């Protein structure tokens, strides 16, 4: 049986289209990508109740030029990758929440 362990307030101005969960350099992390063109991350802190509490909410900038469609966390290099309808691919450092690389026309549609 599945049960809800936490509800997320992501702070996006439009629908969340993708989500990635994993371990970042500083602990458990949830990343969300939205039609509002932004990627946001939240640190997830385990509570004594067995639930999680979201903290340290980050807005990753600069945003994409269209909605974010896919996210992937890399455990090997501590990075988050985002892909957008604008055909760009971005690599974000999870250590300091900065854009480290961006490629336009990286994919089709």
pLDDT of residue 64: 96
pLDDT of residue 34: 95
The contacts of residue 107 (CB under 8 Å, 6+ apart) are 83, 87, 89
- For the chain, the C-alpha Rg in angstroms (whole number) is 14
Catalogue all structural domains in the chain, each as residue range(s) with its CATH number.
16-103 (2.40.10)
Burial of 11 from C-beta contacts in 10 A (0-12 / 13-18 / 19+): middle
Q: How far apart are CA 98 and CA 95, in angstroms?
A: 8
pLDDT of residue 99: 98
pLDDT of residue 8: 62
Phi, then psi, of 23 in degrees rounded to 5: -105, 130
Please list the pLDDT of the chain residue by residue as tens digits (109 residues).
766 655 666 688 899 999 999 887 777 899 999 999 999 998 888 888 877 777 888 999 999 999 999 999 998 888 999 999 999 999 999 989 999 999 999 877 5
């Amino acid at each position: 049986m599945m049960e809800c362990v936490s509800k997320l307030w992501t702070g996006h101005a439009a629908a969340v289209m993708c989500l990635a969960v994993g371990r970042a350099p500083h602990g458990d992390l949830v990343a969300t990508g939205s039609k509002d063109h932004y990627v946001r991350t939240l640190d997830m802190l385990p509570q004594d109740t067995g639930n999680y509490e979201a903290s340290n909410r980050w807005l990753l900038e600069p945003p994409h030029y269209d909605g974010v469609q896919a996210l992937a966390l890399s455990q090997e290099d501590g990075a988050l990758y985002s892909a957008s309808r604008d055909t760009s691919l971005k690599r974000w450092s999870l250590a300091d929440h900065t854009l480290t690389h961006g490629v336009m026309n990286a994919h089709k549609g």
